[in-house]
Amino acid sequence: MPLFIATVRQIISSPWLQAVLVALASASVLLAASVGVSVQQARQHESAQMNARGERFLERLEQIFGQLREGVDHLQAVASRQCDAPMRQALREVGLNYRFVYEAVYLDGAVACSSRGGGQVIRPDRAPDIHGPTYSYWLNTSAEPNDNLAALVLGRGSFLVSTSRGHLADAVDLPQGGSLLVVLDGGRRAIPVLGPPQPWPPTPDWPPPSPKALLELSDRLIYRMPTQFPDYQLVLIVPRQSLPLPGDTLLWLMIGASLLLASLLGWLTLRLIRRRRSLGAKLRKALRRGELQVLYQPIFELDSRRCVGAEALVRWRRADGSLTSPELFIPLAEDTGQIQQITDFVLQRVLEQLSPLLRAHRHLYISINLAACDVMLPRIGHVAARLLAQHRVPAQQLAFEVTERSLVDVVAARDTLQALRAAGHQILIDDFGTGYCSLSYLQTLPVDGLKIDKAFIEGLGQDTSSGAIAPHIIRMAHDLHLRVIAEGIESEAQAALLTLEGVKHGQGWLFAHPLSARELIDSIGLGRRVQPRWRKAKP
Ligand code: C2E
Ligand code: MG
Ligand code: MG
């Protein structure tokens, strides 16, 4: 069983598997997004087409209706009211002159004559479907077998003009499965004059409350055309196209790009994991080979410029002489758990290198940076106690710096800090202001002081928001009886302003860059105050 668990763990932690999983996950997300965008685009295209088609239909239908009205008006103006030669002439003229008129008829009881000359004339056998003040309309349904007769008939007085279904179909190119309907009785009745009958009403809440001409249903598009008459409305219903996904060029392009991007992400993940792993492995070797070293940045009393201590800062100097920043390898070491080894190494190195100095200058202290996992466990207290006893240095000469971010588990952190403080160590909050701790919250923690992050010192004396924060932090810290140490002091002006605000201690390139143990011992051993040579180039 343990062998099985170990095998599973090994497979899961394989960089290849993790990279493939990242590639698959990103491919699925990107492909889904591509299909979504394509569908959206196809729908938008379809809607735009329908809008354009609807407007074209409306124009053509207005033209047809206009011609029918003009034709019947022309006949109405004829003086004759019998089927004589002038009447037949007028009927023929209307039939010829108006492209959309299929037949023009004079009808008075049994007397009837037509522009088409034959004996049979259109003769509606029912009351008009629309009865307007001037014109009456008969709408023949698309189920009517005779293509010529089945269309629109418009009447005025004793005259009728009609257009055939063929004429209508010529004027409006209805798409496959589409229908043109005339909607009557406030939306309750619809007569299909072209195309197959449609279930009516098309939506349960017809007429829809939206004033938009185009209504998009999941399976149909409905275009409502405004007419000059409130009694009827023209409606065009077209089934939605099956979306042209497989053949769509854009979609294929997006699929290609998604797969490429997903492969790239997978490859980058693989590289990143391998780099981190190799950096982790290199760090392990570095610890073994002694490539890590500790530098010390002196901390000064601002008004007297007397050195009161130093902060221990770890460095990784590789075999080729290159220097890796702690800001790069400390977070990695926190992830891999190697940070405990590093903290132990720094503690050990500090006492090995500086215990004679600390024993000779009891007022000096060394500040050690702790990581989140150091703060969570009581272990660090035991390690420090053992080393301090071994080197005969009191706990008061060792301070610990914790960042606000490392206080994630406050309960565990409080216990560790309490124990360290009880042993005699000073506890300082590092990089104060960059995390989430409020000053009043600090009051609940066993803390002696705080180090104001250099970001706030940088802006001091300038009209910037970060510059305005430092004096505020200082005043509140003093109210809470906390010691304040300013980090990153680079100019005399900053030092002067800090002194004015009541800050007693600080560190920064103005006074000294991080120094080797030998340089620190030499400088303090000489008993000098600030010497320019302390300010050597940053290592
Ligand atoms: P930190 O604890 O806030 O350390 C101060 C950083 O500011 C140091 O960078 C120091 O070299 C730099 N510094 C000092 N004076 C000035 C100045 O006047 N101007 C500017 N711009 N920078 C200044 P470093 O040594 O690169 O350390 C970076 C961070 O790495 C440290 O920030 C600390 O969080 C972490 N670190 C360093 N050593 C250790 C360690 O031994 N253990 C742990 N857990 N973290 C460490
Ligand atoms: Mg620090
Ligand atoms: Mg700091």
User: pLDDT, tens digit, for every residue of 406-435?
Assistant: 887 888 899 999 999 999 999 999 998 877
* Residues with CB in 5 Å of ion ligand 2: 369, 401, 430
pLDDT, position 145: 66
* Position in ligand 1 atom list of the atom nearest CA 489: 18
pLDDT, position 55: 77
Residue 266 lies in a domain: no
Ligand at shortest distance from the CA of 451: 3
Task: Flag the least confident range among 87-96, 299-308, 483-492, 527-536.
Answer: 527-536
The angle formed by the CA atoms of residues 510, 515 and 517, to the nearest 5 degrees, is: 145
168 pLDDT band (50/70/90 cuts)?
confident
HSE-CB at 526 with a 13 A cutoff on CA atoms is 11
How many domains are there within the chain? 2
Ligand at shortest distance from the CA of 344: 1
Is 360 found in the same domain as 227? no
Query: Which among 338, 349, 369 is the best mutation to test ligand 1's pocket, defined by most ligand atoms within 8 Å of the CB?
Result: 369
537 pLDDT band (50/70/90 cuts)?
very low
Residue 263 lies in a domain: no
* Position in ligand 1 atom list of the atom nearest CA 346: 41
CA of 240 to the centre of ligand 1 (A): 65
The angle formed by the CA atoms of residues 178, 183 and 186, to the nearest 5 degrees, is: 145
Q: What is the CA radius of gyration of the chain?
A: 46
Residue 173 lies in a domain: yes
pLDDT, position 535: 54
Nearest-CA residue for ligand 1 atom 13 is 488
Nearest-CA residue for ligand 1 atom 27 is 326
Residue 245 lies in a domain: no
Phi-psi region of 392 (alpha: psi -120 to 50; beta: other; left: phi over 0): left
CA of 340 to the centre of ligand 1 (A): 18
CA of 419 to the centre of ligand 3 (A): 23
Q: How far is it, in rounded angstroms, from Cα 298 to Cα 509?
A: 10
Is 91 found in the same domain as 165? yes
Is 74 found in the same domain as 159? yes
Residue 10 lies in a domain: no
CA of 313 to the centre of ligand 1 (A): 6
Decide which of 239, 254, 269 is a domain's last residue. Answer: 239
Is 340 found in the same domain as 201? no
Angle between helices 85-97 and 15-76 in degrees, nearest 10: 160
Is 286 found in the same domain as 229? no
Distances (CA, A) of 269 to 169, 274, 426, 446: 61, 8, 42, 42
| CATH code of the domain covering residue 311 | 3.20.20.450
CA of 46 to the centre of ligand 2 (A): 63
Decide which of 206, 239, 272 is a domain's last residue. Answer: 239
Give residues (CB < 6 A) around ligand 1.
Answer: 297, 312-314, 325-327, 330, 346, 369-371, 430-431, 454, 487-490, 507-509, 514
pLDDT, position 437: 65
Is 284 found in the same domain as 234? no
CA of 122 to the centre of ligand 2 (A): 101
Average pLDDT over residues 379-400: 97
**Tokens 């590789």 belong to which residue?**
318
Is 200 found in the same domain as 292? no
Is 307 found in the same domain as 183? no
In whole numbers, what is the pLDDT of the chain averaged over residues? Answer: 85
* Position in ligand 1 atom list of the atom nearest CA 370: 44
Is 294 found in the same domain as 189? no
pLDDT, position 295: 97
* Position in ligand 1 atom list of the atom nearest CA 403: 34
Distances (CA, A) of 149 to 294, 347, 482: 103, 105, 101
Summarize pLDDT for 238-269 with one digit per residue, the tens: 887 644 454 567 778 888 888 899 889 989 98
Decide which of 186, 210, 239 is a domain's last residue. Answer: 239
Nearest-CA residue for ligand 1 atom 11 is 514
CA of 430 to the centre of ligand 2 (A): 5
Residue 208 lies in a domain: yes
Residue 407 lies in a domain: yes
Is 439 found in the same domain as 379? yes
Summarize pLDDT for 283-335 with one digit per residue, the tens: 888 888 889 999 999 999 999 999 999 999 999 998 888 888 999 899 889 88
Residue 250 lies in a domain: no
Q: What is the DSSP letter of 186?
A: G
Query: Which among 313, 338, 346, 366 is the best mutation to test ligand 1's pocket, defined by most ligand atoms within 8 Å of the CB?
Result: 313
Distances (CA, A) of 199 to 73, 190, 192, 364, 492: 36, 9, 10, 93, 87
Residue 234: which domain range? 22-239
Summarize pLDDT for 127-163 with one digit per residue, the tens: 888 888 888 888 876 666 666 665 788 899 899 998 8
Do the Cβ atoms of 534 and 515 come closer than 8 Å?
Answer: yes
* Position in ligand 1 atom list of the atom nearest CA 401: 2
533 pLDDT band (50/70/90 cuts)?
very low
Is 452 found in the same domain as 322? yes
CA of 359 to the centre of ligand 1 (A): 26
Is 206 found in the same domain as 346? no
Of 319, 240, 235, the residue nearest 285 (C-alpha)? 319
Do the Cβ atoms of 455 and 473 come closer than 8 Å?
Answer: no
Q: How far is it, in rounded angstroms, from Cα 404 to Cα 432?
A: 7
Q: How far is it, in rounded angstroms, from Cα 89 to Cα 303?
A: 120
* Residues with CB in 5 Å of ion ligand 3: 430-431, 487
Average pLDDT over residues 104-131: 83
